[in-house]
Amino acid sequence: MPHTPAVDQPDTDAAIERALAELSGRRIAVLTGAGISTDSGIPDYRGEGAPRRTPMTAQKFLSDADARRRYWIGSHLGWRAFTSAVPNRGHEALARLERGGRVPGVITQNVDGLHERAGSTRVVELHGTMSRVRCTHCHRMFDRRDIAERIERDNPWIAVPDAVILGPDGDVAPEADMDFVVPDCPVCGGVLRPDVIFFGEFIPPERFHEAEEILRAGDALLVTGSSLVVNSGIRLVERARRRRIPVVIVNRGATKADARATVKIDGGTSEVLTRIADEFAPRA
């Protein structure tokens, strides 16, 4: 069924009503970005008030021991704060829609694991996850909690502040450059890194294929909390557009795909997703 071209939606309530009409009777593939986690205390990359950040590249991480040490200090402190974040109403609404059979899966650009903690069972993490660490030499995977215990054992001076300036990748900028024992692979002694996509790296083809499978299982695409600046999101939107299925975008502020959307809702993800879930997967 072809969809209606997007038009300006100055009235958020009217836009939501139109989105509900477009999504009615359809299975909804979901793509989420950092904006869905702001209500959990994790800041957006590019939204208003976002912290200034210099993304780590894989090349710099591997070639510069000082940069790697600074990254691990910030990543550890940030991860500790990251783990205290809890899913918000937006995450819970998507899990409810999945349980109700309306959402075949969630594709996320986030690394925070909040979708799984909210109860979503089919989640493709395009950019990896902060919950795992992998060796760049032998490629073994490790639970982040085990590596965190090693870090604190080898660096007993490290303080975990009650409040840190948390970044979307679960890292912070340490206030001081301190001595720090960088964890290495307990199996081969190789360089460890969080299992996330660094700036400039490509998403593994098999992972993007999993995302495409979720998209194919739906007959509408709901994008929420993403400005769609990253190419992977635009690629999924373009696939949906070529299939002529509705594309609904929920985001505060403009996105790179507004002109391709069937409906654009300029609003908060928690409020809008809760309203969609109340419509299509009401609580028992």
Residues tagged active-site: 127
Buried b (16+ CB within 10 A) or exposed e, 67-79: ebbbbbbbbbbbb
Nearest by Cα to 153 from 254, 62, 246, 76: 76
Phi then psi for residue 276, to 5 deg, are -65, -45
Reading the block at residue 184, the tokens are 């290495």
Give CA–CA dist 128/141, Å, rounded: 12
Give CA–CA dist 31/103, Å, rounded: 11
Give CA–CA dist 43/50, Å, rounded: 6
Residues 6+ positions from 77 with CB-CB distance below 8 Å: 158, 160, 161, 164, 171, 172, 174
Give CA–CA dist 126/257, Å, rounded: 19
CA–centroid distance for 72 within its chain: 20
**First-residue to last-residue Cα distance in the chain:** 31
